[in-house]
Amino acid sequence: MLSGSVRRVEPAAFTKISTLGVEEQRVNVLIDLLAPPAQWAGLGDAYQLDARIAVFTRGDAIIVPAGALFRRGESWNVFAVDNGRVEARQVTLLRRSSRSAAVTSGLSPGEQVIMYPSDRVSSGVRVRPQ
């Protein structure tokens, strides 16, 4: 594994058909390798690879699935489970993506939240994990 730093994300995507026939939108990303040259000296011109790019890191972040979030007015909320009962909690988000969110207040590490709560879920309702 090689580490690097993103120098530039090109502003325009292009369409490519995958080997399975799926139309994909792709974008070129220029990355400066940070590893010592001895680790990557064998790479040739136009070498293609799969990369994982971290756009945000924070060691003490509380991460919740996006499917647990819902809006009440202007605020974000979750249904947390406390001693087998549901408790509505207003949370403050640091960052949010389509899959997850980093919470800065309203939850403690390790607390359970309800994913995709239905209209039958409200504060005080008794629940059990499945």
CATH of the domain at 105: 2.40.420.20
Q: Say if pTM beats, i.e. exceeds, 0.75.
A: no
Share of the chain above pLDDT 70, in %: 100
80-93, pLDDT tens digit by residue? 999 999 999 999 99
Residue 42 shares a structural domain with residue 4: yes
Tokens representing 126 are: 């008794």
Boundaries of domain holding 12: 1-53
Which phi-psi region, left, alpha or beta, contains residue 34 (left: φ > 0; alpha: ψ -120 to 50)? alpha
Residue 94 has pLDDT above 90, yes or no: yes
Helices (H), 1-130: 37-40
Q: What mean pLDDT is predicted for residues 32-47? A: 87
Residue 67 shares a structural domain with residue 45: no
Domain count, the chain: 2
Residue 49 shares a structural domain with residue 1: yes
Residue whose pair of structure tokens reads 């960052």 in the numeric block:
95
Residue 49 shares a structural domain with residue 2: yes
Residue 130 has pLDDT above 80, yes or no: no
SS3 at position 116: coil
